[in-house]
Amino acid sequence: MSNVGPVPLKLQAADKDDLSVLSAFLQDAVIPVKEAVFIPAENRFVFVANRFRWEDVDRDVRQPGTPIYERVNCGVCFEHVTAVRQKGLEQRRRGQVVSLLALNVESETIDLVLSAGVLIQLEVDRILCHLQDIDDPWPTQWRPAHPLDAV
Q: What's the confidence (pLDDT) of residue 85?
A: 95
Q: What's the confidence (pLDDT) of residue 1?
A: 42
Least confident range of 15-19, 57-61, 71-75: 57-61
> For the chain, how many structural domains are there in total?
1
Query: pLDDT tens across 94-149, in order?
Result: 688 999 999 999 889 999 999 989 999 999 999 999 999 998 998 888 888 876 54
Q: What's the confidence (pLDDT) of residue 151?
A: 39
Query: pLDDT tens across 3-51, in order?
Result: 556 789 999 999 999 999 999 999 999 999 888 999 999 999 999 999 9
Residue 146, domain member (yes or no): no
Residue-wise over 29-56: b if at least 16 C-beta within 10 A, else e? bbbebebbebeeeeeebbbbbbbbbbee
Residue 82, domain member (yes or no): yes
Closest CA to 28 of 135, 117, 144, 133: 144
Residue 122, domain member (yes or no): yes
Residue 29, domain member (yes or no): yes
Residue 147, domain member (yes or no): no
Q: What's the confidence (pLDDT) of residue 35?
A: 86
Domain that holds residue 99: 10-140
